[in-house]
Structures are given as C-alpha cells and as structure tokens.
Amino acid sequence: MEQEQPEQDIKHILETEVITNLLKDKKYFTTVIHQLEPDTFTDPGCRTTFEHIKEYYLEYTSVPNLKELLLTFKDATKEIKQQVKPIIVQAQGGSNINSDLLVDLTEKFIKMSKFAKAIIKGADALGSHDEELMTESYALAEEAIKVSLSEDLGVGLDEIEKVFLEFKDKPGIKLDIPSFDQMIGSGFTPKTLHAVMAASGVGKSAAMVAFAVQWLLQGRDVVIASLEMSEAEMYKRIYANLYDIDIATLGTIDQQVIKVKFEAIKGKIGRLVVKEFPTGGLTPLGLDSFLDKLKTEKDMEKPIVMVDYLGIMASDRMKSLDNSYAYFGSIAEELRAIAQKRDIVMFTALQLNRGAINNLEADQSALAESMRILMILDSAFIIAQTPQMKEEGKMKINFVKNRMAGKTWSFDISFDYRKFRFVDTFSVNGDNVTAGENDFASQLAGLM
C-alpha cells in the first residue's frame, strides 16, 4: 500500500517548482514576482535561492539563467552553497507541471503564508495584550485576502465588442431624482465609493435614507450599516418614506398598518437590511465579513452598501488616530477595495467641520476627517443649509467631485422632513417641474 506523502515533502516540492518556473518561464515570473517574498518560502534553500533571483532581477531587470544564478553564489559560504545545490539541480532538470495549475497553487501558497503569519502575530498579541500587534495581525489577514495572481492584462483599444458588453452588462445606477441624475450622467457604476458630506445635523443620514428607498423602489437590494443611529430610528425614517406616512404619526400607528403596507409591496421592491454597529466598532474587514454572511445566508449577491458613516469607523491597519490624514484615508481605501472586489456601489457619509455650519459656500476644505479621503472617492457632494432653509425644507447641493460625469455644480432642492424624501424642482424648456411627491405617489400606487 502506497504511503501518504508527508505534508512537508509536498510543500518542498511546490517551493522547488516555484523556483524552477521562475527561472524557466518568463510569463510565470512576471505573474508571481510582485507577490512573492523571501519569507514566503519555508525551505532555507528555496528562500536563499529566491533572494538571489530577486536581487538579480532588481539590479539587471532580467531573469538570471542558471549560469548567472550560480555566479551570484560565488562568494557564499559553504553552508549556503550546500543549501541551494539541490534546488539548482532540480531547476536544471526543468518542470512539466501545468502552468495554470502552478499559478493557482502559487496563489494559495502565498495566501497561506500570509495567513500563517497573521495567526502567529494574533496569538502573540492575545498573549501579551499588545494592541499594535493585533492591528498588524489584522492587516496581514487583509493582505492575504487580497492576494490575486490574475493574468488579466486589461482591455485594448481594439477590443470594441468587449468594451460595449461592459457598458451593457454594468449600466450605472440612477436615483430617479432628476437634479441628481443630471449630475451623475449614466449613474453610479459598480466598483465605486461615493460620499455625502455635511455639517452635523444637516442631513447626511436623511439623504442616505432617501437614496436607499429610491433604490429599493427600483428593485435593488440595499444594506445599511449604521454606526450612529439605532436600527429602530433608521427604520422610522425608512417607513415614513417608503409607506408615505408622516414620521410624526408613526408612534401612534398600529403595527398592523405597516404589515399590510409591506405585504402589498413585498416581492415588488428590493430587499433591505439595516444593521447597527457600535460607534468605532466596525472596520472595513468587519464589513466585508458581514457582507459575506449576507451573501451566504440571505443570497444578497451585490447589494448597494451604505455606511453611516466613515468618520466613526475603525481602521484595520492603524491603531492610532494621531495621523487622521493617514487613518481615515486608510479606511476609505479599504472601503473602495471592498466595492471593487464585490463589484458593487458603496455610499458613505462624511462630517464637515464647524466652519461649514450655516455656510452655503462650504467646500471640501471643511472636511473634518481627512482630505486624503476625497482623493479616493469617486464622487462627493456637500449638503449646505441655513436654519431658515431647514425650516422651509430646502437644501443646497454642491458636487465637489464627480468621476461619473465630471460636473461639479451646485443646485437647490427641497427635502420633505415629514417623509424623508427629496422633492425636486428642475427646469424643462424654461418651465419649472416638481418631481418627488406626485412621482413617488404614482410609483408607490403602481406597486400596490
């Protein structure tokens, strides 16, 4: 009976195959070299050989042949020469392993190496109660998740059919709010991160609720991760908008009314999940894990994700808030990376500083958390408002970044705080037209 191959021997075989193919296969080399590090290898001979290959490549911008590699060991100790000799002999013999299989195995090999380091650091952190070590452990685990040896080289100018298929397969997501839709052109596209910015109490969460309901009515799934407002408070606003009820009367309405209204539209609109997280208790990695659970347990494949809000999230990478520019910029990068990985649209909110209060001319310089965030966002708009405007239910919207259509203009819009929805007055052929109340009523009537 054939004995099972010891795990250590299998690992050694894989590591020598990696070295052999780095030397023999230029396509494989360019695919994996940016992800491999010396400490990825457990075999001392493979680790040292890889160090010499990479040093040669960095100095001469080419892959060494066997003779050139041997010459790099000319001044090495006898012990090192003994370590690398069997590796180089193996490389001399060549390899007949399937190249696609080897790329897949190499990706898993790199991931497992990073995960192993993350676990070791995590164990050390738990033993010593060292929060900095724990942060490093999280960061390593995050790196492992993101390892990809995809050989996709992008799209060439001549690949017209492929480009047009992308247009058709991934149309932008509009809001059905005319003034906003004029600004965002074909809509919010997947793999992007967007933000609504405002001073405290002006309407960041209100705007996000209004957007969420618009998307639900389009049949899209929406996930709201709330770090500031309870699930019940968030649902009060959603119920007011979705069921066309004055929020002030919700506390006196029998819950059976809501059940009847829900049953009338169930299956005709998208699905919604609102999850409350403690302030400072959600990291990008935690959000990604939560979305995995929703995908597995509720079959929510590509929901629109709304995080309320970025400035009270925690970073997986950094523990200290001493450098807010780096800290909040890191969170923004990770959120956008999740959007890219999951092929989704993600929305968040950002708080402007006190200089933006009652200031209709507030711009991105009033961003409280970090200007670095703005560089990462795909679009951002500011809600500006004076106390009088709030009483009148008016807002000024100022787009400060817009990768979708390039328009960075301002416009005025009304907001119904009784039902948490935008009421849009815009111009068609010189005539003012109002969208919101009547459009919404007919849209809802159609569903019911």
Judge whether 153 lies within some domain: no
**Claim to verify: residue 255 and residue 173 sit in the same structural domain:** yes
**Claim to verify: residue 139 and residue 174 sit in the same structural domain:** no
Cα–Cα distance for residue pair 53/197, rounded to 1 Å:
49
Judge whether 156 lies within some domain: no
Domain stop point among 117, 146, 175? 146
Using DSSP's 3-state secondary structure scheme, residue 82 falls into helix
The answer to whether 87 and 19 are in contact (CB under 8 A) is yes
Structure confidence at residue 410 (pLDDT) = 87
Instruction: Report how far apart the first and last C-alpha atoms of the chain are (Å, whole number).
Output: 69
Asked if pLDDT for residue 150 goes beyond 80, the answer is: no
How many domains, the chain? 2
Give me 72's structure tokens: 């790099």
What CATH number corresponds to the domain at position 57? Answer: 1.10.860.10
Instruction: Quickly state the pLDDT bin for 368 (edges 50, 70, 90).
Output: low
Judge whether 39 lies within some domain: yes
Q: What is the pLDDT of residues 304-358, one digit of tens each?
A: 999 988 988 988 777 666 677 778 888 899 899 899 989 999 999 988 867 666 5
Q: 223 Cβ partners below 8 Å, 6+ apart? A: 272, 273, 275, 291, 294, 300, 303, 304, 305, 306
Asked if pLDDT for residue 447 goes beyond 70, the answer is: no
- Which pTM does this prediction carry? 0.67
Q: What is the pLDDT of residues 40-82, one digit of tens each?
A: 999 999 999 999 999 998 888 888 999 999 999 999 999 999 9
What CATH number corresponds to the domain at position 264? Answer: 3.40.50.300
Judge whether 31 lies within some domain: yes
Residue listed under structure tokens 């013999």: 93
CA distances from residue 246 to 264, 266, 394 in whole angstroms, order as listed? 19, 21, 18
**Claim to verify: residue 228 and residue 346 sit in the same structural domain:** yes
- Helix 324-342, helix 131-146: angle, nearest 10: 30
**Claim to verify: residue 182 and residue 141 sit in the same structural domain:** no
Judge whether 151 lies within some domain: no
Range of the domain at 247: 166-447
